[in-house]
Structure formats: structure tokens, C-alpha cells
Amino acid sequence: MLTAFARAFKTPDLRKKLLFTLGIIVVYRVGTHVPIPGVDYRAVQVCVDQANANQGIFGLVNMFSGGALLQITIFALGIMPYITASIILQLLTVVIPRLEALKKEGQAGTAKITQYTRYLTVALAILQGTGLVATARSGSLFQNCPAAGQIVPDRSIFVTITMVITMTAGTALVMWLGELITDRGIGNGMSILMFISIAATFPSSLWAIKTQGNLAGGWIEFATVIAVGLFMVGLVVFVEQAQRRVPVQYAKRMIGRRSYGGTSTYIPLKVNQAGVIPVIFASSLLYIPALIVQFSNSAESGWAKWITKNLADPAAPVHITFYFFLIVFFAFFYVAISFNPEEVADNMKKYGGFIPGIRAGRPTAEYLSYVLNRITWPGSLYLGLIALVPTMALAGFGANQNFPLGGTSILIIVGVGLETVKQIESQLQQRNYEGFLR
């Protein structure tokens, strides 16, 4: 492994890409600590330093921003608006024929969809920035913090607009930095920035578990969490790499004196075809009732108390049940809209391909649907179990909702890490035919 790193830095082109990526990461991390104008930074630090400051309905967005959300910095919104815009465009591609046609146009259509994603990202950043400023002004951003009401001392319209514009510009800058990494660095820039944001919260969260522990000064809890984390990483790597390979045979054709086709290949169907999207969807959907209660004036009513007790509390049995079934539902939903068996079957039939023992056309589409449904079941159950790890941590270690080894963070960390290693490995193989991992 160390020699592979040395070879990577000895290669001039690859070294330049790695150093450029590291430079962009440094710029991104510096921006997560620069407060926006109009915010009392001392009051923010007082609330952040409290034991339960990281808890609340903003935990998911705070994790994706690398802890910048609760500190209200210029990168407070982080990469979350771009992720949301990408998911929305991907869902609308199935619904809107114009977007579906653009997707089939190749590189030109993809560039147009990327442009639409940028516009939607800016619009979502304005919307989310306005909501964050309103929440900070009302004192609801931090729960049970006496200084929460003094975070935004000047509540004039000019200061509010300045804060929203600053956070929107920060989101646009993050999006540009990610695209720079994609063009001139290693791997997908947005995924790498997301990886850095989540990894940046690990040291403080792990040390908080150690300081709050009671056994041997917290070292037993700390070691247990590390052991569980390593086991989860191994499990996630195993499942993420698992796939069902459906064999495909292409018929041999004679065109003139040349023969074409006659090759054998396969369709790789991953066990976790949906990735981390179902966990994000389920978490976001469960946050909506808590948001309604927080922004309403009826917090003492019966329905609001029921939501706070059963849905807002991640350790509540109702929350766990809804969370698990929502993940399973969204796993099947996302796989259904992202993989079209009929389109795959038509393309195979068009180029003379067939699955051995299965007739081309509709029987092939039905067979692919059958196989996909069978492997989606264990994939969705796996996602649900991985996502419940933070809940067990809350009960076992007294950790907060941003438990570092949660399902969403582990899935993203492992997925981006594997993809980045493959990118570096492919670069090395082009030069000396030795992979990054021996």
C-alpha cells in the first residue's frame, strides 16, 4: 500500500492531480470555518460547545456540511443543495419526456442536464439559506441554549439578505470546487467533498464518546466503537462489491467477409443498487413532521407532543419502525425508476444479444425484473439494518444523533473511497500495469 502511494506521487501527471485535489480540499475546509456577516460568532460557539448542541433535526445537513451548518459559516449549506438538485433532476428524468430525451442525446444532453442542475442548486440554496437564517433568528437552531436568541443580533432586512446571498454564493463556490476536482483532479469532485465533510466530523465525535464514557475513563467505549466501525466498514465493502452477474450472449453476424459479435458478457446487478439514496430520502421525510412542529405555534398541542415523542426521537420504537420501512420502500422505488428492464431488453435485442435460456424481448425484461426484485430485498434490509446503528449507539453509548459510524456516513465514506482507489488504480495501470492495491 505504501509503495503504491509512493509510485502514485512519483508519476508526474498523477502527482499533479493529487496535489491539486488536496489543495481544493484545503480551500474547502478553510471555508467551513469562515463565519458569514451578521452572526455573533461567540454566541454560536457557546451553543456549539454544549453537550447536546449537535442534536436536532439539522443533524443530517450538518453532517454533509462538515459541521459548518451549526457554525453558520459561508459553506454552511455545503454540498446538500447540489445533492438534492441532482436527485430531483434524476427523478424528473423519468417523468418529463424532454429530460428523458436529453439523457439519450449523449454528452450534449448530459451537459444540458448538468446546467439545469446548477440552476436548481442555486434556487435550493436560496430557499435553504432563507430557512436557516429564519431559524437562527428565532433561536430554534439550537435547543436549550440560552445564547441562541443572540446569534443574529441585527434582524434588519439588509442583514438578512446579505446572509442569504453569502450562503448561496458559498454553495455555488463549493459546486465550482467540486467540478474543478472532477476536471483536473482525481475522481468525482462532489463525492470527494462529501467524503471530506463527513470524515471531518469523525475525530470530534469519537473523542466525545471517549470523554462521555464511564468504563476505564471512556477507553472501553472508545475501543468498542472503533471495533464496531471496522466491522461495519468490512460489511459495507462486502455488500457494496456484491453483484449478480446475468450472462449475456451476442449472436455472431457475418457482414461481408468479416464476422461481428459472438462474444459473451454479463449485466452486473448490484445487491445495493440504490446506494445511499433510500437512507437520505427516509431521513428527510421523517424530519418533515418535526420541522412542522418547530415552526408552528402549537408545540403544546396533543398532535405536536405525539410527533415530538414518537417521530422526533430517534430512539422511539415508532421512529425506528417508520425509518426501517421507509428505507425498504425507497430502495425498491429508486431501483424501479433508475433501472428499466424493458429498455435494457430492447437494447439487447437491437444488438443481437440474449440471455441463455431466455427468449429476447418481453421474456428478457420479465426475467431481469424478477432477478432485480430478488436481490433488492436483501439490499434494502441491509440498508435498513446499517441505518439503525446510530439508534443502537444512542442507547448503548449515550452518543448524539451525529454518531460518526451511522449508516449514511459509512455508506458514503466506503463508496467514495472505493471509487477513488479505482480511479488511482486505473491511472497507475496505464503506466506500469501495477494496480494501487496488490
pLDDT confidence band for 8 (50 / 70 / 90) = confident
pLDDT confidence band for 199 (50 / 70 / 90) = confident
CA–CA separation, 405 and 228 (whole Å):
8
pLDDT tens digit string along 31-79?
Answer: 888 888 888 878 777 777 664 444 445 666 676 666 677 778 888 888 8
Counting beta carbons within 10 angstroms of the beta carbon of residue 214, is it exposed (0 to 12), middle (13 to 18) or buried (19 or more)?
exposed
Cβ contact 315:394 at 8 Å: yes
- Which residue, among 120, 124, 133, 121, has the nearest Cα to 174 in the 3D structure? 121
Q: How far is CA 55 from CA 37, 58, 86, 429, in A?
A: 25, 8, 27, 45
Q: What is the pTM of this model?
A: 0.78
Counting beta carbons within 10 angstroms of the beta carbon of residue 108, is it exposed (0 to 12), middle (13 to 18) or buried (19 or more)?
exposed
- Which residue, among 12, 11, 18, has the nearest Cα to 420 in the 3D structure? 18
- Residues 6 or more apart from 388 whose CB is under 8 A from it? 320, 323, 324, 407
DSSP per-residue codes, 225-294: HHHHHHHHHHHHHHHHH-EEEEEEEEPEEEETTEEEE--EEEEEEETTTTTTHHHHHHHHHHHHHHHHHH
What's the grid cell of residue 166? 453569502
pLDDT confidence band for 387 (50 / 70 / 90) = confident
pLDDT tens digit string along 336-380?
Answer: 888 888 888 888 888 778 888 888 888 888 998 999 999 999 988
Residue ranges of domains in the chain, CATH in brackets: 1-200 (1.10.3370.10), 203-405 (1.10.3370.10)
- Which residue, among 11, 19, 12, 17, has the nearest Cα to 433 in the 3D structure? 11
